[in-house]
Amino acid sequence: MGNDFEALRKVSGQVAVVGVGDTDYGADYRLGGATRRRGAPGDKDAYGLAAVALARALEDSGLKKEDIDGVVVGGSLQSEPACELLGLTPTWGSMLSGLADATVPLAVMALMAGQCNTVALIMGNDQRSTNLQYGGPQSRIGRLGEFYYHPWGFSSPGAQSALIWQRYMDVYNRREEELFVVPSNSRRHAMMNPNAVFQKELTFEDWYNSRYIAKPLRLYDYCMINDGGVCLILTKVDRAKDLKKHPVLVKGFSWETVKHSSQLKDRVGDLYYTKTKASADACYEMSGLTPKDVSHFQVYDAFSDMLVWTLEAHSFCGRGEALDFMGKNGEHIDIDGVLPCETSGGLHSESYLHGWNHQVEAVRQLRWETGARQVKDAQTSMYNHPGGEGPHTLMYQRA
């Protein structure tokens, strides 16, 4: 059993993203002029943030609320109250717990099946306001039988990523300080993004002298925790051509499932290579594209090491070669490098919205709308989320 690529190729490029909207990440984080502490409410809850993102996506696309007949929600939202509060009356919909890389394929399949004509993917998240924990005794994730050894204190995704990075260094004879290239690249790009939360230069001293959270990962190797909202609007290409903005095609998607989540074999033992590569290869096969065709790459960069082994699994370089591929100062993954990565600042410096903000950046890069951080003549954008249940990959292309 496996992918039916003949069928998938018939779907490739038949659906387009026609509108995107997001909230004011930096302004919200500094509500009142100072960093808003965790647990302090912002001026909008998750539904209010979602409303802003939806309004901006509708404006971006030229569509109206009554044009939306499919809805998928994520983040802190529940489907029924979201539709009621946002004034939507879909004939098809679903609720997912937060992964953009799962919602995009779901929307494509619903559109191709004729279940709806225009889908809004809406995410609102008030995780900073509610002081949501992603590790430790108050964490809502990582219970025994899921991803981590929670009863023994191993309760966070960051601890898992720290183990992967430690093993990577052991296997390929790399050093801790080499990882600075990843957060410094993200911050450099965020400094060109007016909407990013963090826009101050990140020096090597800042990074190296920051405290360990889960050794060998430091504070600045971790994503932030902030509130925000994102909306993407998708429709079939025959309708997209008549809308306001240049369409961005969904060319490929794939999903792999890990077999040993509780034992960590796929992640720590294999450095998450085999499953992530299988997801990447399936996406290449569906889209008809190759690594050489990719103009722009993003990964769910919750922790710095994720970009390292994900570049290798997507065949941009060989195993153990990613840090050399990036260049000593990240010059090869910079805006004008051979493979620009995390051009918005990603989860480290732009916003932590569980990869939804990466989709907005992909669309804007392929519509050539990103100003100082624009990748020249960007034609394709690839994204991977090496998620808890398995890696997901997406491929977009300028129409």
Give the span between the Cα atoms of 187 and 350, in whole angstroms.
Answer: 8
Opening angle at CA 78, ends 86 and 250, nearest 5: 80
pLDDT of residue 265: 82
pLDDT of residue 159: 87
Q: Where are the domains of the chain?
A: 5-131+223-398
Mean per-residue pLDDT, 289-304: 98
More confident residue, 390 or 324: 324
Assign 143 a pLDDT band (cuts: 50, 70, 90). Answer: very low
Count other Cβ atoms within 10 Å, centred on residue 35. Answer: 12
From the list 266, 298, 252, the residue with the least C-alpha distance to 3 is 252
Kind and range of the H or E run holding 85: helix 79-86
Q: What is the pTM of this model?
A: 0.95
Q: What is the mean pLDDT of the chain?
A: 92
**pLDDT at residue 395 above 60?**
yes
pLDDT of residue 35: 85
Asked whether 395 and 252 are in contact (CB, 8 A), the reply is yes
**pLDDT at residue 151 above 70?**
no
Asked whether 238 and 369 are in contact (CB, 8 A), the reply is no
- Which phi and psi (to 5°) does residue 118 adopt? -145, 125
Lowest mean pLDDT among 3-7, 153-157, 349-353: 153-157
Mean per-residue pLDDT, 252-279: 86
Mean per-residue pLDDT, 316-330: 97
pLDDT of residue 259: 74
Strands (E), the chain: 15-22, 70-75, 92-95, 118-125, 212-214, 217-218, 228-236, 248-255, 296-299, 380-386, 391-398
Give the span between the Cα atoms of 47 and 62, in whole angstroms.
Answer: 22
pLDDT of residue 138: 65
Give the span between the Cα atoms of 63 and 185, in whole angstroms.
Answer: 36
Give the span between the Cα atoms of 335 and 387, in whole angstroms.
Answer: 26
Assign 132 a pLDDT band (cuts: 50, 70, 90). Answer: confident
Q: Tokens 């971790």 label which residue?
A: 222
Q: Structure tokens of 366?
A: 């392929």
Give the span between the Cα atoms of 354 and 125, in whole angstroms.
Answer: 9
pLDDT of residue 41: 86
Q: Could you give the angle at which helices 305-313 and 181-190 cross, rounded to 10 degrees? A: 100
**pLDDT at residue 84 above 80?**
yes
Mean per-residue pLDDT, 80-107: 89
From the list 48, 35, 20, 60, the residue with the least C-alpha distance to 243 is 60
Give the span between the Cα atoms of 192 and 185, in whole angstroms.
Answer: 12
**pLDDT at residue 357 above 50?**
yes
pLDDT of residue 116: 97
pLDDT of residue 262: 60
pLDDT of residue 260: 66
pLDDT of residue 147: 52
Assign 85 a pLDDT band (cuts: 50, 70, 90). Answer: very high
- Which phi and psi (to 5°) does residue 148 adopt? -130, 170
pLDDT digits (tens, 9 = 90+) for 8-28: 999 999 999 999 999 999 999
Asked whether 355 and 366 are in contact (CB, 8 A), the reply is no
pLDDT of residue 2: 74
pLDDT of residue 263: 60
Assign 137 a pLDDT band (cuts: 50, 70, 90). Answer: low
**pLDDT at residue 52 above 80?**
yes
pLDDT digits (tens, 9 = 90+) for 179-236: 999 999 999 999 999 999 999 999 999 999 999 999 999 999 999 999 999 999 999 9
pLDDT of residue 302: 95
From the list 145, 109, 146, 157, the residue with the least C-alpha distance to 300 is 157
**pLDDT at residue 79 above 80?**
yes
The 10 Å CB-count burial string (b at 16+, else e) for 11-20 is: bbbebbbbbb
From the list 164, 159, 156, 210, the residue with the least C-alpha distance to 183 is 210
Q: Please report, rounded to a whole number, the percentage of residues in the chain having pLDDT higher than 90.
A: 80
pLDDT of residue 258: 80
Architecture of domain 5-131+223-398: 3-Layer(aba) Sandwich (3.40)
The residues that bridge with 222 in the sheet, in sequence order, are 303
Mean per-residue pLDDT, 303-332: 97
The CA distances from residue 246 to 17, 62, 267, 367, 397, in Å, are: 9, 12, 39, 6, 11
R_g (Cα) of the chain, nearest Å? 20
Lowest mean pLDDT among 143-157, 160-174, 177-191, 261-275: 143-157
More confident residue, 72 or 241: 72
Give the span between the Cα atoms of 339 and 319, in whole angstroms.
Answer: 17
Give the span between the Cα atoms of 259 and 316, in whole angstroms.
Answer: 25
